[in-house]
C-alpha cells in the first residue's frame, strides 16, 4: 500500500494563484472518482485533494463505487466524500452518474490511482476558469512518479501506452500539442485550443481532466472517457492546457501487471464485451493517417529496431533511461494483440471480468 505521508506535494510560489482561495469568487469544484476495491491507492489520492490550498468547503468529492468488498468506502468516508452506487460497475458509467449529482462549477475526473502532484492543482485550473469562462475542458499534465516502477515512469513520459502513442504522435502528449495545432491563446501559464474535428488529439475525461459543468458528458451508456472528450471537441469546446497542474498516475506496478491489464483491454477491443469503449469505438474519429498507423503498429513493434531507435531518441529527450523500455513494451503489446485476436476468433467472446 502506498504511504500517504511519503507523498510530498510541491508548494507553489505563484502568489497570484495562491490568493484565489481568498477571493469571494472561489467557485465550488467537484472531484469525481470511480472506484472498485481501490483501498491500495485511494488514501493517497484523497490526501492530495484535501491538501489543496483552496477552501475545502468549496471542494466536493463524489466516489462512484462499483461494489467494493475491501475498505474503499470506509476510506472515502474518512475524507468526507459522498458515496454513490455505480450499479453498472464499469468506471465510465460511474463518472456519468456522479456528474449528474455534482454541484461544482468545475468537474474534475480523477482515477483512484491518481495523486495531485502540487497543492496548487485546483487553484491553477480555477485561475484559467475565472479568466476564460468560455473554456469547456481543462487538461493537466501527467508526470512520471519518481519512485514508481520503471515501466510506470516510461508510460508517464509517453502519456499513454505505445500503440496509442504511435497512432497520435504529437497529439498524444499535451506538451507537444503546439507542434500539431495552433493555439488560440498562449501565455506562460496555459494555452487555449479549439481542435479541428477531423484531427482530434488524445483527450479524455480522466487523469485529472476537468470540464465546465455546462458540458454534458453524454448518456448513461457513454462508456469511454475518450469518446466523452471527443464529444466536447466536436461541440466546438475550447480546451485549456495547464502544464503547472501536474499529477501522478500510478498505472503499472510490474511487467506482469502490464501484461494482465493490457490483455484485458485488448480482449475488450476485439470482443466488444463492454459497449462503446476502447480503441475500436473511436476509429471512426481518426484521421486517415491515424487509421493507417493502427495497421503499421504490428510491423513497427515486431521489428524491434524502430522502437529501439525511438527509445534512444526518447531517452535523450527526457534524460531518463526508463525510455529504453519502449522496444520491450511495444514488442509485448504487439504479441498481446496477436494472441488475443486469435483467442477471440477461435474461442468467441472470453470472460474478461471487471474493468482494470
User: Of 249, 267, 285, which one is at a domain's C-terminal end?
Assistant: 249
Beta bridge partners of 248: 115, 143
List pLDDT tens digits, range 236-264: 999 999 999 999 999 899 999 999 999 98
What does the block give as the cell for 313? 531518441
**Is there a contact between 127 and 50 (Cβ–Cβ < 8 Å)?**
no
Please report whether residue 133 resides in a domain. Answer: yes
Any domain includes 122 = yes
Q: Is 267 in contact with 340 (CB distance < 8 Å)?
A: yes
Cα(263)–Cα(279) distance, integer angstroms: 13
Q: What's the CA gap between 158 and 167, in Å, rounded?
A: 12
Asked whether residue 355 is assigned to any structural domain, the reply reads no
356 occurs within a structural domain: no
Give the per-residue pLDDT at 247.
96
pLDDT score, position 18: 44
**Count of domains forming the chain:** 2
| Among 249, 280, 302, residue at a domain's last position | 249
| 353 falls within a domain | no
Tell me, yes or no, whether 235 and 263 share the same domain.
Answer: no
| Domain assignment present for 354 | no
Q: Count Cβ atoms below 10 Å from residue 268 Cβ, excluding itself.
A: 23
Q: Give the pLDDT score at 146.
A: 84
Residues 313-332: pLDDT tens digits? 999 999 999 999 999 999 99
Whether 125 and 232 map to the same domain: the answer is yes
pLDDT on residue 351:
55
Mean pLDDT, 10 residues at a time, over the chain (356 residues)? 44 47 75 95 97 97 95 96 91 89 96 96 97 96 92 94 95 95 96 94 94 82 80 95 96 93 86 68 86 96 98 97 98 96 76 49
pTM: 0.89
CA separation for the pair 167, 201 (Å, rounded): 10
Residue 233: which CATH number? 3.90.550.10
- pLDDT for 225 equals 85
pLDDT recorded at residue 24: 53
Please tell me whether residues 160 and 145 are part of one structural domain. yes
**70 domain-assigned:** yes
> Looking at the structure, do residues 245 and 259 belong to the same domain, yes or no?
no
- Domain check: are 44 and 185 in the same one? yes
Question: Which residue among 249, 266, 285 closes a domain?
Answer: 249
Dihedral sign (CA 305, 310, 312, 313): positive
Range of the domain at 35: 4-249
Rounded CA separation 290/164 (Å): 10
> Are 279 and 180 part of one and the same domain?
no
Q: Using only the alpha carbons of the chain, give its radius of gyration.
A: 20
Q: How far is CA 150 from the centre of its chain?
A: 19
Same domain for 280 and 177: no
Same domain, 83 and 207: yes
In whole angstroms, what is the distance from residue 305 CA to residue 68 CA?
44
* CB-count exposure of residue 179 (10 Å: 0-12, 13-18, 19+): exposed
State whether residue 135 is helix, strand or coil. strand
CA–CA separation, 180 vs 169, rounded Å?
9
Q: Which of 197, 194, 179 is nearest to 239 (CA)?
A: 194
Whether residue 184 is contained in a domain is answered as: yes
Number of CB atoms found within 10 A of residue 257's CB: 15
Q: Are residues 161 and 23 in the same domain?
A: yes
- pLDDT of 1: 40
If asked whether residues 147 and 186 sit together in one domain, one would say yes
Task: In whole angstroms, give the CA distance from residue 108 to residue 32.
Answer: 6
How many other C-beta atoms are found inside a 10 Å radius of the C-beta of residue 172?
20
The CB-side HSE value for 45 (13 A sphere, CA atoms) comes to: 29
212 in the same domain as 261: no
From residue 67, give the alpha-carbon distance in Å to each of 73, 250, 264: 9, 22, 20
User: What's the confidence (pLDDT) of residue 274?
Assistant: 65
Domain shared by 66 and 196, yes or no: yes
Amino acid at each position: 500500500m502506498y504511504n500517504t505521508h511519503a507523498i510530498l506535494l510541491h508548494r507553489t510560489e505563484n502568489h497570484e494563484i495562491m490568493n484565489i482561495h481568498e477571493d469571494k469568487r472561489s467557485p465550488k469544484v467537484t472531484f469525481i472518482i470511480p472506484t472498485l476495491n481501490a483501498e491500495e491507492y485511494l488514501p493517497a489520492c484523497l490526501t492530495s485533494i484535501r491538501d489543496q490550498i483552496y477552501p475545502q468547503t468549496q471542494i466536493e468529492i463524489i466516489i462512484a463505487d462499483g461494489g467494493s468488498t475491501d475498505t474503499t468506502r470506509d476510506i472515502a468516508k474518512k475524507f468526507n466524500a459522498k458515496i454513490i452506487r455505480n450499479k453498472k460497475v464499469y468506471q465510465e458509467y460511474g463518472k456519468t452518474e456522479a456528474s449528474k449529482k455534482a454541484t461544482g462549477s468545475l468537474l474534475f475526473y480523477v482515477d483512484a490511482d491518481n495523486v495531485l502532484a502540487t497543492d496548487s492543482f485546483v487553484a491553477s485550473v480555477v485561475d484559467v476558469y475565472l479568466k476564460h469562462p468560455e473554456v469547456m475542458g481543462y487538461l493537466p499534465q501527467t508526470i512520471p512518479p519518481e519512485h514508481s516502477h520503471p515501466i510506470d515512469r516510461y508510460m508517464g513520459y509517453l502519456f499513454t501506452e505505445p500503440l496509442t502513442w504511435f497512432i497520435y504522435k504529437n497529439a498524444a502528449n499535451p506538451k507537444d500539442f503546439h507542434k500539431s495545432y495552433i493555439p488560440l491563446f498562449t501565455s506562460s501559464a496555459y494555452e487555449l485550443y479549439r481542435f479541428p474535428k477531423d484531427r482530434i488529439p488524445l483527450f479524455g475525461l480522466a487523469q485529472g481532466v476537468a470540464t465546465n459543468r455546462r458540458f454534458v458528458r453524454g448518456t448513461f451508456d457513454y462508456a469511454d472517457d475518450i469518446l466523452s472528450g471527443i464529444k466536447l471537441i466536436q461541440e466546438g469546446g475550447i480546451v485549456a492546457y495547464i502544464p503547472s497542474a501536474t499529477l501522478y498516475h500510478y498505472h503499472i506496478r510490474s511487467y506482469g501487471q502490464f501484461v494482465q491489464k493490457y490483455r484485458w483491454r485488448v480482449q475488450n477491443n476485439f470482443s466488444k464485451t463492454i459497449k462503446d469503449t476502447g480503441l475500436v469505438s473511436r476509429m471512426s474519429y481518426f484521421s486517415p493517417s491515424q487509421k493507417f498507423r493502427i495497421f503499421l503498429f504490428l510491423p513497427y513493434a515486431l521489428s524491434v529496431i524502430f522502437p529501439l531507435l525511438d527509445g534512444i531518441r526518447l531517452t535523450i529527450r527526457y534524460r531518463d533511461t526508463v525510455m529504453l523500455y519502449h522496444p520491450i513494451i511495444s514488442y509485448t503489446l504487439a504479441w498481446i494483440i496477436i494472441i488475443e485476436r486469435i483467442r477471440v476468433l477461435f474461442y468467441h467472446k472470453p470472460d474478461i471480468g471487471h474493468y482494470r
